[in-house]
Amino acid sequence: MAKAVLTPQAENFPAWYQDVVARAELAENGPARGTMVIRPWGYAIWELMQADMDRRIKATGAQNVAFPMLFPMSFLEKEEQHVEGFSPELAVVTHGGGEELAEPLVVRPTSETVINHYFAKWVQSHRDLPLMVNLWNNVVRWELRPRLFLRTTEFLWQEGHTAHATFEDAVEETRRMVGVYRQFMQESLAISVVVGEKSAGERFAGADHTLTCEALMRDGKALQMGTSHNLGHNFARAFDIRYLDADGERRHVATTSWGTSTRMIGGLIMVHGDDHGLRLPPAIAPHQVVVLQLDEDDEVAGAARRIEAELRDAGVRAHVDDRTHTSFGRRSVDWELKGVPVRIELGARELASGRATLVRRDDRSKSAAPLDGAARAAAGLLEEIQQALLAQSRSFREERTHPVTEFDEFARRVGGGGLFLAAWSGTEESERALAARTGATVRCIVDADPPAPTCLITGEPARHTVLIGRAY
């Protein structure tokens, strides 16, 4: 069999990542720095993720809407914390139609401000609440150190925005949506995540609280996979979003926002990938089973098509690779690189023996199945593979989560990767000191017993238990 030419993970993880993105034909750099072209295989993965998430989001009561990419700078400036948080990342249009614009337009970095402008028009009575909308769009955040899928100037994402009668309702919505994300990531992406609250230094600009889903990549770095923000009354006051309650009093709504992006594809690569390429969870694999036709023979072709039809009838995304002019080794490597969960190898020898060869991508193991049961056997492997990948992700994270009580010990170990459970005082000064001294950040505040009564960083009394680590 031909070998995939990938830099080994252990040798150079960033180079391995770039190799996989290129060789699996997921994406490549766009013509403007920091942009990306998502190729068909990468976009097919995103479409499956999008459809799955869209179904889950609509089940909460949210409805999809579309908003413009350009909005006036004055919208962003209405919420002070928000504009401060996004100022370094903004792309601004100053000319249009050959003339200087009367007011600069912001290229959408996120949609809180423009949506809240319309929420103020749409919400009049308590009967209008809750108001729940969701967008599938692209955003632009000027990125100085781009990396495909992980950090690009322009990326695809989903962002939800809701308005509620009370602060407590907004708290509940924030929690519910981070739970939706967690379920999607674990059930569909087979990625085990930790849910917790962001520290003040890591919180979304303009939010009272931010909840996050954090995952651990195979190089030991953390990745923020999705966030849910309780915006409280901050945007409601800035945009004067008020409603008449049942007693006839005018009150400000409480709002939330929540989002995930194509960054999840980067996470998918780095959680499941190995030195042979991608390992896709069946739930989001564009081809769940590929039937590899080995010979240019009518009988073999007919058998391959019959197995494909059986699989499709069973609801499996199946594909026949009949490129017999390309070597078996080359084609096998291609599908390994792309992470297809199961291959069925079928040629004249298999027809003669009455048994097809099945290859699992997760552990690269081979087995034989009768020709008339090959489709059933392949379909039966899909749930096994899905659960195996989730179990591996969970055990990897748990084995690399370490309680620490001594700062010097932490500083020595953090370069080796992993998450560190620590006691923390909660001050922004200690967060800044942590980053300056170790390059690590507080990933999230978690519901766990602190490993010590005093802060790992300052020695002051501890207020929180946190997970700390280096991150993308």
What's the Rg (C-alpha) of the chain?
A: 25
Positive/negative CA dihedral, 164, 167, 172, 177: positive
Q: For residues 344 and 356, is the Cβ–Cβ distance under 8 A?
A: yes
Tokens of 350: 């298999």
Q: Which residues of 151-169 are buried (b: 16+ CB within 10 A; e: fewer)?
A: bbbbbbbbbbbbbbbeeeb
- Residues in the chain predicted with pLDDT less than 70, given as ranges, are 1-4
Per-residue tokens: 75: 């919208």
End-to-end CA distance of the chain: 35
Quick: pLDDT tens for 192-221: 999 999 999 999 999 999 999 999 999 999
Q: CA-CA distance, 267 to 213, in Å (whole number)?
A: 12
374: closest CA among 302, 282, 305, 311? 311
Q: What pLDDT does 79 receive?
A: 86
CA distance 208 to 325: 60
* CA within 13 Å, CB half, 15: 8
User: Domains of the chain (ranges plus CATH)?
Assistant: 25-64+120-272 (3.30.930.10), 282-387 (3.40.50.800), 401-469 (3.30.110.30)
pLDDT score, position 85: 83
What's residue 2's pLDDT? Answer: 58
pTM of the model as a whole: 0.95
Write out pLDDT tens, residues 419-441.
999 999 999 999 999 999 999 99
Those residues whose C-beta lies under 8 Å from the C-beta of residue 259, and which sit 6 or more positions away, are: 110, 157, 158, 159, 160, 226, 227
| Eight-class DSSP state of 247 | T
